[in-house]
């Protein structure tokens, strides 16, 4: 398997016809739907795990903003209700 096909690097993404903004936005939306309610440090940590390439780092703030736009944090009462069900 070609390692560049699985790496999240700007060069790889552009070869596939993806732009950074769209990629970051979709990834942040997916992460928010799976684990909403992350603190900023947690969001940054997820970003760095997904986008380890130094070329992607300038998009960290865009990822955080997109995450916050899509995240729907669960309140404690909603968690308690779900646990009781």
CA 63 – CA 14 distance, rounded (Å): 18
Give the tokens for residue 46. 């997820």
Query: CA neighbours within 13 Å on the CB side: how many for 78?
Result: 5
Whole-model pTM: value is 0.72
Q: What is the pLDDT along the chain (85 residues), one digit of tens a residue?
A: 344 445 677 777 778 787 888 889 999 999 999 988 899 999 999 999 999 888 889 999 999 999 999 987 554 455 556 666 6
């Amino acid at each position: 398997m070609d390692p560049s096909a699985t790496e999240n690097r700007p060069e790889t993404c552009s070869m596939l016809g993806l732009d950074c903004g769209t990629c970051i936005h979709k990834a942040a939306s997916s992460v928010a739907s799976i684990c909403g309610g992350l603190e900023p440090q947690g969001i940054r940590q997820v970003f760095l795990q997904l986008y380890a390439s130094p070329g992607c780092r300038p998009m960290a703030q865009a990822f955080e903003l997109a995450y916050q736009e899509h995240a729907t944090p669960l309140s404690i009462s909603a968690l308690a209700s779900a646990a009781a069900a």
